[in-house]
Amino acid sequence: MLVEVGRDEFRKNCASCHGIDARGDGPVAAALTTPPADLTRIAARRGGDFPSDEIAAWIDGRLAPSAHGTREMPIWGAQLAQGLPPEPLTQDLVRGRIVTLVEYLRSIQVK
């Protein structure tokens, strides 16, 4: 169930850059300065490990240290909170949406 919800969230928010198959070939990818990552190979680039916490933090983006430079990817933690009820429920809902995205990304990793 989480994977299906995450797939829908991905298609709604991420596919324009990363592509429907998450390979970095979305319709706006060519317009970006930094090409979007192939998200099906996260684990392959890390020796088979899928770092869920790191991926969740990257998607959220609100806690990224400024020393890491600029990023073209939206700060999804802030974007996903728009239109939600006031705190503290908002943070739980945002974390839940990010968890579904992470689980979907885990499910599409290539061997």
Which pLDDT tens digit goes with each residue over 13-26? 999 999 999 999 99
Ranking 1-5, 30-34, 62-66, 76-80 by mean pLDDT, the lowest is: 62-66
Q: Any idea where the domains of the chain sit in the sequence?
A: 2-107
pLDDT tens-digit readout, 38-97:
999 999 999 999 999 999 999 998 766 555 556 678 778 888 888 877 777 788 888 999
Give the number of other CB atoms < 10 A from CB of residue 97: 22
Query: What is the spatial distance between Cα 77 and Cα 108, in angstroms, rounded to a whole number?
Result: 22
CATH code matching the domain that covers 2-107, chosen among 1.20.120, 1.10.760, 1.25.10, 1.10.150? 1.10.760
